[in-house]
Amino acid sequence: MTAPTGAPAQGSRSVLILNWRDTSHPEGGGSEVYVEHVAAGLASRGDDVVLFCARHVGAPATERRDGFTIIRRGGRFSVYLWAWLLRVFGRLGRPDLVVEVQNGVPFLAAAYSRCPVVVLVHHVHREQWPVVFSRPVARLGWWVESRVAPLVNRGHRYVTVSDATRQELTELGVPRDQISVVHNGTTPPLPGSPLHEPTHTPTIAVVGRLVPHKRVELALDAVAELLPEIPDLHLLVLGHGWWEHRLVEHAHALGLHDHVTFEGFVDEARKHEVLGTSWVLAVPSLKEGWGLVVVEAAAHATPAVAFHGAGGLEESIEDGISGLLVPDERAFVAALRRLLTDPSARDQLGRGARHHAMRYTWEATVEGFSEVVDSVTGPVGRGGRSARAVLDDGTIDGRAARAADAGGDANDSQGGKRGTDHRGDQSPEDAPTHSDSLR
């Protein structure tokens, strides 16, 4: 990622961002891409930016990237405890602003921060909780997200990525005038990069984490139904997650051995190659805050098919212009059939998709988020002390570290470097009983 250019602010604010992962995490996704573009953009404008997130195997505890600092502590459960602990002990500095990224489970930073907090919410997880968790846990999680978090963050600024999520936040009691919409950007193909033409074989792509609420089963079912009409149809599934073995079993039960490829976690080059060569992108997800991959595919003139009512997908896809939005599973299959068998419809939507994608840039995202930050802190911060400075002149209290580790970081054995396929046996923290499965 290259930091966007921009005039640095006079002076320097100290900005602390709390997120559960970074993009190097093997299960990092669109939310992390958004956060790191914002972090790099703020840093390019003169702010001292620190991103705090969970550790994973192969990642250093501290790293400097694109002008900002990454500090990694804890795991999927304990990252929230670590954030609280290090803030209380002063090991994350005295920032002028905290940006809390709320992915279902909140950090509740406003409860222990003496500075303004901006809460970034990609989407509300009302539908995901009961899909992933048992009823008691789902009810508790939704209560924390829908009741506790809005109460703790009362009076603080919110940012979201779609009008759909803003509406959901207002239904939770967040005043509409406290919520700013700052859309995702997209990265156009690099100058000189190879142009990817659609394959001769009819190909559907599914890209994302393999978890229940992404509903990849619907794409598998669609392929099975369409095969009699399109016998050479192939489905490429990019991404991995703890639900992958269930999907592989489902594909085998449908007899799709020769018509589905699970590629696991791939690098950016391979992802864009698939998006550029596929005939259509299928997005059967129950809900998305925006759907970054939709606009990435659109930049390659690849239209998408998704569902009405799936959050921000109703904005990242212009129905009938850049893709198709459908009401139910039957219509999902019909839409895929249409784009696979009607070249003129596919080409028309592809042209519309590329035009639609050009409207969204990361420079505009950084500009919009910076305006929110300026409205909260002013162009120049109070000169708070950054977490990087604190870490440079001392170590974390050993008792505090042991207390946080007692929460358990066994999941770190399941992590790894970005671009590596991390499939394998499930550890207890990879099971569908944690917040990691929500997004």
Chain-centre distance of CA 189, in angstroms?
A: 20
The whole-number pLDDT of residue 387 equals: 56
76 CB contacts (<8 Å, ≥6 apart)? 20, 54, 411, 429, 434, 435, 436
Rg of the chain, C-alpha, whole Å: 22
The amino acid that residue 32 corresponds to is: E
Report the run of H or E that residue 329 belongs to, with start and end.
helix 329-341
Beta strands at 179-181 and 280-282: parallel, antiparallel or unpaired? unpaired
Q: Residue 233: its pLDDT value, please?
A: 97
Question: Measuring CA to CA, which residue among 43, 47, 375 is closest to residue 182?
Answer: 375
pLDDT tens digits for range 312-343: 899 999 999 999 999 999 999 999 999 999 99
The per-residue pLDDT of the chain, averaged, comes to 83
pLDDT given for residue 133 in this prediction: 79
CA–CA gap between residue 177 and residue 69 (Å, rounded): 32
By DSSP bridging, strand 68-72 and strand 62-65 are: antiparallel
Contact (Cβ atoms closer than 8 angstroms) between residue 213 and residue 127: yes
CB atoms < 10 A from the CB of 82, how many? 30
Helix (H, G, I), strand (E, B) or coil at 64: strand
Give 252-277 pLDDT, tens digit per residue.
Answer: 999 999 999 999 988 888 999 999 99
* Domains annotated on the chain, with CATH: 14-185+361-437 (3.40.50.2000), 203-357 (3.40.50.2000)
Q: Is the dihedral of CA 23, 310, 243, 53 positive or negative?
A: positive
End-to-end Cα separation, the chain, in angstroms: 23
Residue 439 and residue 434: Cα distance in Å, rounded?
11
Under 8 Å between Cβ of 239 and 210: yes
Instruction: List, for the chain, all residue ranges whose pLDDT scores fall below the cut of 70.
Output: 1-11, 131, 189-196, 379-439
Cα dist. 122→31, 261, 309 in Å?
7, 29, 15
- Please enumerate, as own/partner, the contacts of 397-402 that have beta carbons within 8 Å and a separation of 24 or more: 397/89, 400/85, 400/86, 400/89, 400/91
Q: What single DSSP character describes residue 351? A: H
**SS3 label, residue 284:** coil
Confidence (pLDDT) at 126: 83
- Burial of 172 (C-beta count, 10 Å sphere; 0-12/13-18/19+): middle
Q: Give CA–CA dist 56/261, Å, rounded.
A: 27
- Predicted confidence at residue 369, as pLDDT, reads 97
Tokens of 191: 């100058």
Q: Where are the beta strands (DSSP E) in 155-246?
A: 157-160, 179-181, 203-207, 234-238
pLDDT reported for residue 115: 94
What's CA 127's distance to the chain center, in Å? 17
